[in-house]
Chain A
Amino acid sequence: GAGVSQSPSNKVTEKGKDVELRCDPISGHTALYWYRQSLGQGLEFLIYFQGNSAPDKSGLPSDRFSAERTGGSVSTLTIQRTQQEDSAVYLCASSFYNEKLFFGSGTQLSVL
């Protein structure tokens, strides 16, 4: 596609429910990143894929968070048993190896 696509754009869920966020990177991009951003703040690194493997998972906040990437393309970020502190904008970015990052518009997650 023309850019990085994330879905859904907004997700409201109840505490304790599982959510799945999707990222479609730019075709041909080898690297894919997930970040989390609170209102007006910087980006908190979550996980990074090179192809289908994740060389760096160090940013995942807890074992409730997991991510996978299949076919070197689409990635899903899953949050199990959501908590209110998980509320944030989740941003995905892709790049050709580790060059310039192209970001999606993010998924705004609200946990009630």
Chain B
Amino acid sequence: TQLLEQSPQFLSIQEGENLTVYCNSSSVFSSLQWYRQEPGEGPVLLVTVVTGGEVKKLKRLTFQFGDARKDSSLHITAAQPGDTGLYLCAGSSNTGKLIFGQGTTLQVKP
């Protein structure tokens, strides 16, 4: 069974601080996606990483896919209150379904 472990589960920081969220697995994924979800809404895709070692930047967010395609990280620089939400990583399995981690709840206090 392919599983994704996210850490930390909860993170509460002050505006302006940096943070990193990790997504780890013992399995290889063909691609990995990061989503952000706000209360009462469905998750919204932030980025997809496909190649081992790939790094993608989206404004203050930096996403990295591990060389072995088993893990990924999301780094946020100078966090803002608008970054508050549930961050989810998801891996594409070889059967086509998307498997999600348990999520990281981020709270950024002004």
Contact = CB atoms under 8 A, between A and B. Distances in A.
The contact size tier of chain A is 20 to 34
Given A43-B43, A106-B42, A100 B48 contact: yes
Interface string A70-104: 00000000000000000000010100001011011
Interface residues of B, number: 23
A28 B37 CA distance: 24
Given A41-B103, A42-B88, A98-B92, A103 B42 contact: yes
Contacts of B100: 35, 42-45
B105 A40 contact: yes
A103 B43 CA distance: 6
A103 B90 CA distance: 14
B97 interface: yes
